């Protein structure tokens, strides 16, 4: 092995023109959010009694959860099936999942009318409600993600605790706390890793159950009792493309060489996963004979077509081609298409498909809603950049003799 890849904080400078643009987008979103908190949800959104949910739920929450699937899929591959080869991508995927779910929680927080009661589901249970199950699982998984991230924090600061000023007298104590924390985490981490995967499977599918209760309000192209299964399968298939896309983007933006061999072999899993999802989706369509709705040429059938053809079939074909899997550009485009497909699917399920019986107008997101959604995405990227500068997340080649970190998250079963 020529180089050992070791997770290291990135030393590139934080601010670039791109970062400044992102910051502006974020600030713009925050301004609209201020409006929401001062004057109510109606003042910045196009939501009304006909359309109670818009893109804050459809994209920020539902798509956000799906696109953070890289966290549990790589954890399953790397830690549970012990494919050590993939260990370099686990940390970035974990960071994305952690930030992703944090912003999912933020999305919920700003969308619910009584944000100060967000803790109510913890003590008031309704086991019949799919939303309750999503809420509880997301809360638990978010906690698990923070715990899974902790080793990177301890690793960063162990032996380097240097508090400013008079606080410096606590250096030793803090350091020993970190050490014992690290030891404790190493012993118990596997519990959290498995729990994370189980919780993910649960709420990824329950997100699909959410819209089932809307019954005939939802267009038959999407309304099906197997929605939970389709949501789970699509989450499985979008996990790795997300990781590939991020890894390629990060290498580019930090001027690193893309880890093409790892990404190429990771991409081999994508086609089978997408294939299973496609079979589920088309099979369901055939069994319920919903293809009749495709003969009508309207916005709904176009959006369905875009979702399935551009978002599933095209990338499926691409991921089957070895040439695509070996080229960074090919991988990037194919991954982006899968991501787009799942994004469209969540949007379609929560927005396109929803048509209330007494609708007098249709819903289109307002400038405010779009601003907040974009603002959250921008903030997420900004935090990602900050975190990889502070914590050892991204693996870069190192020729220094260094003890190889066996587990990207240390503490899996020894």
Partner 1 sequence: MSQNRREFLKTIAAIGASTAAISSVTPKKTIAKTEPFLSEDRKGVLVDTTVCIGCRKCEWACKGAHGFEQGDFENYQNDEILNVQRRPSTNNLTVVNKYIDEGTRTVKMQCMHCEHPACVSACIVGAISKKENGSVVWDTDMCIGCRYCMVACPFQIPAFEYYKALDPKIVKCDFCIERTSEGKLPACVNICPVEALTYGTRNELIDEAKRRIKNHPDKYFDHVFGEYEVGGTSWLYLADKNLAGNVFPKLGNNTAPGVSESIQHGIFAYFVPPIAVYALLGGIMWLTKEKETKKENK
Give the footprint of partner 1 on residues 304-363 (CB under 8 A).
Answer: 354, 356-358, 360
The DSSP code for 396 is E
What lies within 8 Å, CB to CB, of 263 at 6+ separation is 89, 244, 247, 248, 328, 331
Q: Which of 23, 31, 50, 155 binds partner 1 (CB under 8 A)?
A: 50
With CB under 8 A as the contact rule, which of the stretches 94-102, 145-153, 162-170, 200-208 interacts with partner 1?
200-208
Q: Which of 12, 18, 84, 173 binds partner 1 (CB under 8 A)?
A: 84
Our finding on whether 198 is near partner 1 (CB under 8 A) is yes
Our finding on whether 370 is near partner 1 (CB under 8 A) is no
Quickly count: other Cβ atoms within 10 Å of residue 68's Cβ. 28
Our finding on whether 280 is near partner 1 (CB under 8 A) is no
With CB under 8 A as the contact rule, which of the stretches 205-213, 323-331, 336-344, 394-402 interacts with partner 1?
205-213
Of 56, 348, 350, give the one whose Cα is nearest residue 212.
Answer: 350
With CB under 8 A as the contact rule, which of the stretches 87-95, 211-219, 277-285, 332-340 interacts with partner 1?
211-219
Encoded tokens for 209: 């159950």
What lies within 8 Å, CB to CB, of 136 at 6+ separation is 121, 122
397 SS3 class: strand
Q: Which of 32, 53, 101, 304 binds partner 1 (CB under 8 A)?
A: 53
CB of 229 to partner 1, least distance (A): 10
The CA distance from 143 to 146, in Å, is 5
Give the footprint of partner 1 on residues 394-413 (CB under 8 A).
Answer: 412-413
With CB under 8 A as the contact rule, which of the stretches 2-10, 132-140, 141-149, 273-281 interacts with partner 1?
132-140
CB of 52 to partner 1, least distance (A): 4
Q: Which of 18, 24, 43, 364 binds partner 1 (CB under 8 A)?
A: 43
Cα distances (Å, whole numbers) of residue 194 to 77, 82, 202, 229, 273: 11, 13, 12, 20, 21
Cα–Cα–Cα angle for 364, 366, 369, nearest 5°? 110
Q: Which of 204, 206, 366, 395 binds partner 1 (CB under 8 A)?
A: 206
Our finding on whether 212 is near partner 1 (CB under 8 A) is yes
Q: Are 300 and 293 in contact (CB under 8 A)?
A: yes
């Amino acid at each position: 092995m020529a180089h050992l890849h070791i997770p290291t904080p990135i030393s590139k400078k934080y601010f670039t023109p791109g970062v400044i643009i992102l910051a502006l987008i974020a600030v713009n979103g925050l301004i609209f959010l201020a409006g929401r908190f001062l004057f109510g949800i109606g003042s910045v959104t196009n939501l009304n009694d006909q359309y109670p949910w818009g893109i804050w739920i459809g994209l920020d929450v539902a798509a956000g959860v799906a696109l953070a699937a890289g966290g549990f899929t790589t954890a399953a591959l790397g830690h549970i099936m012990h494919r050590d080869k993939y260990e370099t991508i686990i940390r970035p995927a974990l960071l994305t999942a952690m930030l992703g779910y944090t912003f999912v929680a933020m999305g919920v927080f700003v969308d619910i009318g009584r944000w100060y009661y967000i803790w109510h589901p913890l003590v008031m249970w309704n086991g019949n409600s799919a939303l309750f199950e999503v809420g509880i699982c997301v809360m638990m998984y978010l906690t698990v993600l923070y715990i899974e991230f902790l080793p990177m924090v301890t690793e960063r600061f162990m032996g380097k605790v240097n508090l400013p000023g008079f606080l410096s007298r606590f250096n030793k104590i803090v350091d020993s706390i970190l050490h014992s924390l690290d030891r404790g985490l190493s012993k118990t981490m596997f519990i959290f890793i498995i729990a994370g995967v189980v919780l993910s499977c649960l709420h990824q599918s329950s997100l699909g159950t959410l819209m089932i209760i809307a019954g005939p309000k939802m267009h038959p192209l999407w309304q099906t009792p197997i929605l939970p299964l389709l949501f789970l399968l699509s989450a499985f298939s979008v996990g790795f493309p997300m990781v590939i896309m991020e890894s390629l983007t990060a290498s580019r933006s930090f001027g690193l060489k893309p880890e093409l061999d790892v990404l190429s072999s990771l991409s081999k899993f994508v086609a089978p996963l997408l294939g299973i999802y496609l079979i589920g989706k088309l099979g369901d369509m055939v069994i319920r004979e919903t293809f009749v709705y495709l003969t009508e040429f309207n916005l709904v059938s176009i959006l369905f077509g875009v979702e399935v053809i551009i978002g599933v079939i095209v990338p499926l074909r691409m991921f089957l081609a070895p040439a695509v899997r070996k080229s960074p550009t090919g991988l990037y485009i194919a991954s982006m298409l899968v991501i787009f497909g799942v994004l469209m699917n969540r949007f379609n399920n929560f927005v396109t498909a929803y048509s209330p019986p007494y609708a007098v107008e249709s819903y289109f997101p307002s400038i405010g809603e779009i601003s907040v959604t974009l603002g959250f995405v921008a903030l997420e990227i900004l935090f990602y950049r900050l975190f990889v500068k502070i914590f050892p997340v991204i693996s870069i080649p190192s020729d220094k003799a260094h003890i190889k970190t066996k587990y990207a998250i240390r503490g899996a079963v020894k």
